[in-house]
Chains A and B, each alone.
Chain A
Amino acid sequence: MLKKHLWKFVLLALTAMLLLAACSGGNDEGEGTGNNTDNSGENTGDNQNQDKGKSENPVEGRDGELVIGVPGDPQNWDPIDTFLLDWSTIATSVFEGLVDRNLDLEIQPGLATEWEYVEENVLQFKLREGVTFHNGEPFNADAVKFTFDRLLGEEGAKGPQQANYTAIDHVEVVDDYTVNFHLKYKDPVLITKLAGYGAVIVPPNYIQENGDEHFNNNPVGTGPFKMTKYERDNVVVLEKNENYWKEGLPKLDKVTFKIIPEASTRLAELQTGKIDIMKRVERSQTQAVEDSSFLSLSVAGTPTVYALRFDTDEKPLDNPKVRQALNYAVDKEAIIEEILGGYGNPISTFQSELSFGNNPNLEPYPYDPEKAKELLAEAGVEEGTILDIYTPGNDATFKEVVQAVAFYLEQVGLQANIQTVDANTLTSELMPNGDAGHMYRMGWGGWTLDFDNTAYLLYHEGEFWNPDFYDEKVEELLAAERATVDQAEREEIFMELTERLYELAPQLYLYQDMAMFGVNDRVKNFQTPHDDRIRLENVEVE
């Protein structure tokens, strides 16, 4: 009796579950058809024959529209409030500066047509005429003055951008389309800095009428695209700026950025054609992208470089011979090949070959364990000396790199003790106080693509990033390089400086990082940017 009824119950429950499953299945198809009529036939085909489906480009019905999957949301679009790569990836299409740095990293006219020093420390810009902001407001000398007054004033003081432009004393309006920048001191990389980030030109009336908080979420610039929708941590939609000053550009009607923090999810979206371009393909994913018949991997060298920075106060690293020995001891080529899958380049000093001031005559330290042992013996370092290496816990790739380094150190008779710590604690607490062991991971953006910023912040005595290193000759050269805007003279100084830094080896120079994008073959004219700043005005889709 009991049993019989129980079976009824089981059957009932099972039927209910099946029904549920059937219903949801039916709904899906209905939804699919409703959403995208072109796609429904294709989908069925996929289900029946997955191999065939996979080899066909799944993107359909997105004419003139591009979808890009990016890992992060800057949270704030006001140029003076952020200093994040995630910002520049999207905002480069919305805002423009007086000068422009193109995809090959050359400086060219932007909102200014020409510029020159009219006096010592007075830099004059002639502005482009007939340009309007996305809200219809005209671009002119007043907009430039407003932008820099804001950046250098109270509003700018709250953000991380003001510090980049402290060389500017004030901006003077000469006439509607001429401005003079009065400088406090010479800044050899000022022109480069004007191409990006905090120096992009913003609309005065719009900001004054709507307030800063509104502007944070509803940015307006002069760029090829205007932002029409922003849902935090979800989606950003850009639409064509019909009045863009470059004739016939942009070519796309609409660009959607989906914010997808997880790399494997981004890849899934790329493989299913839901996105056309995937920013930041992980090294473990490159094969999957290359194997696909409709995707390509697009790679570019970045200004970002990695090294293990030595604490030169710690024995035995106070001795340059020991530091050189460690540079000889590690096989950088093997690390790049085995751990980075070949995506990286060895470096001779702490800058990439993209950087002004990189010395092409310097060969990266070769792998020479015998020489390393010799140098260690000369310096009197005992066999089995323990060296502490600090690395941030959130960087899985670098953890592998550090393990390889530890292996190589053991090969020359040293012992490595790897400490994994929170990334932010390492940067803001341990590193500046000299508490990060004998050496620690240092990744460096080098956004100005000029060795000036890097060298000054890393090797000038007393800087935040330099708790311990000091060399008189380096100080001299740094001061000399900053005293002139003559690029040829600066280059000469940098050659001397790099030789000195190569010899002193304050770091174990490792490699230059690569930017990897996954791109659907229907996308034309896309070039992976060196600096994360995607340029879209020439991009087309099939």
Chain B
Amino acid sequence: MIQYIIRRLIHTVFVVLAISLIVFFSIRLTGDPVAIMFQAGEPTKEAIEEVRENLGLNEPLIVQYGIFMKQLITFDLGESFRSGLPVSTMIAERMGPTVLLALGGILVAILIAFPVGILSAVKRGTAVDFFGRIFSLLGISFPNFWLGIMLIIVFAVQLQWFPASGYDGWKSLVLPSIALGMILSGILARLVRSSMLEILNQQYISTAKSKGIKDWVVIIRHAFRNALIPTTTFLGIQFGSLLGGTVIIEQVFSWPGVGRMIIDAINQRDYPVIQGGVIVLAMLMILVNLIVDLSYSFLDPRIKVGGSDK
């Protein structure tokens, strides 16, 4: 197990190296940060040249990459062109709201999808199943932009239960979490339903039933617990990608998360923030994947991570 973890961590180094190469060169192909720094008043050629020089953008690309890698090895992600702050500080500032929103979204998704998915599977082919499936389809097909705006119109403008925007107390977390959770719950409910169905057909379920164990005990303890494995994978990976920020939700609800920061940075071509942000997120994603893999052995003792042939 320890060996396995170490091997995975070594992989990480290579992945980060590859990502740094791709990000570094691809953002430099799509335009220059300097011209748009002068949004309020258009610059002369000399001004553009001078700022470029001072930001170190006139160095050959390979030299710039060398400097970037040298910093990266010492865990220094550089400073933002726009804010002048260390990129690591900026990411740290944003991680809190992002994690909170990711957890909120997943919680809402679980609260909706587990009952819906289980019911659909158990009552397969009935009206309950039908509505359950329609519901997941809706969840999958709602554009989250539209859903966010609808939630704002209903719950913020009409009913005035929750604020429409901001990052200020638990109330402001409710609407973005619902918007995010609704989207997630569609896929999740389908996943729960199909894995439940698969397991309900297994022999041990019939065995358990024939032993006279109560139906709902069978469903929850035997079927649902085993159905949790694919669900956990899905949620784990979703959580990983949610840490990358849910750009649209963050935008609609003015949530100060990582996704908005990186999108702003891309629009402004704030190279250090894009590079640093993407690399940190990639590392988080790898870490989350590792944790998901490890969690299997807790959910199902038969699974052994590290891959002996047993």
Contacts and interface: CB of A to CB of B under 8 A. Distances in A.
Partners in one complex: yes
Interface of A: 1-2, 5-6, 8-10, 12-13, 16-17, 20, 28, 31-32, 43, 46-47, 50, 58, 74-76, 78, 81-85, 87-88, 157-160, 162-164, 166, 197, 212-213, 216-217, 231-235, 258-262, 264-266, 268-269, 271-272, 274, 394, 422, 424-425, 427-429, 444-445, 447-448, 453-454, 457, 462-465, 532
Contacts of B260: 233, 261
B51 A464 contact: no
Interface string B116-148: 000100110000100000000000000000000
A5 B215 contact: yes
Given A5-B214, A233-B256, A464 B43 contact: yes
A425 B165 CA distance: 31
B269 interface: yes
Given A5-B215, A265-B165, A462-B45, A259 B254 contact: yes
B119 A13 contact: yes
Nearest to B86: A213
A96 to B, nearest CB: 17
Interface string B152-172: 110011111111111110010
Q: Which 10 A-B pairs have the closest CB atoms?
A: A163-B47, A447-B41, A5-B215, A75-B83, A428-B32, A424-B31, A233-B256, A268-B164, A464-B45, A260-B254
A419 B145 CA distance: 26
User: Chain A: interface secondary structure?
Assistant: helix
Interface in B38-59: 38-48, 50-51, 54-55
A272 B152 CA distance: 11
B159 A262 contact: no
A166 B123 CA distance: 77
Contacts of B164: 265, 268-269, 272, 274
B235 interface: no
Interface in B254-279: 254, 256, 260-261, 264, 267, 269
Contacts of B152: 264-265, 268
28 contacts: A1-B215, A13-B119, A17-B115, A28-B161, A47-B159, A58-B160, A82-B82, A83-B37, A158-B51, A158-B54, A158-B55, A159-B37, A159-B51, A162-B50, A166-B46, A213-B85, A262-B251, A265-B252, A265-B254, A268-B153, A268-B156, A269-B156, A424-B30, A424-B36, A427-B35, A428-B36, A429-B30, A444-B42
A19 to B, nearest CB: 12
A464 B48 contact: yes
Contacts of B42: 444-445, 453-454, 457, 465
B80 A447 contact: no
A424 B269 CA distance: 8
Interface string B47-75: 11011001100000000000000000000
B76 interface: no
Contact of B165 (A88, A197, A212, A258): A258
A464 B216 contact: no
Contacts of A164: 41, 47
A46 B159 CA distance: 7
Interface in B207-233: 209, 214-216, 219
A422 B254 contact: no
Contacts of A20: 111
B216 A9 contact: yes
B112 to A, nearest CB: 9
Interface of B: 30-32, 34-48, 50-51, 54-55, 80, 82-85, 90, 93, 111, 115, 119, 122-123, 128, 149, 152-153, 156-168, 171, 209, 214-216, 219, 251-254, 256, 260-261, 264, 267, 269
A22 B229 CA distance: 32
A50 B269 CA distance: 45
A131 B260 CA distance: 40
A31 B128 CA distance: 35
Contacts of B85: 213, 216-217
A264 B41 contact: no
Given A50-B158, A157-B54, A231-B256, A6 B40 contact: no
Contact of A424 (B44, B122, B161, B267): B267
A433 to B, nearest CB: 12
Contacts of A158: 51, 54-55
Contacts of A76: 82-84
A204 B149 CA distance: 47
A158 B80 CA distance: 12
Contact of A2 (B55, B83, B215): B215
A66 to B, nearest CB: 16
B43 A163 contact: yes
B55, B84, B171, most chain A CB atoms within 10 A: B84
Contact of B251 (A78, A81, A261, A274): A261
Contacts of B44: 163, 457, 463-464
A401 B57 CA distance: 36
Nearest to B170: A31
A425 B31 contact: yes
A234 B254 contact: yes
Nearest to A84: B39
A163 B46 contact: yes
B45 A429 contact: no
Given A424-B30, A424-B35, 4 more contacts: A46-B159, A74-B82, A81-B84, A216-B83
Contacts of B253: 262, 265
A82 B37 CA distance: 7
Given A75-B80, A163-B46, A258-B165, A428 B40 contact: no
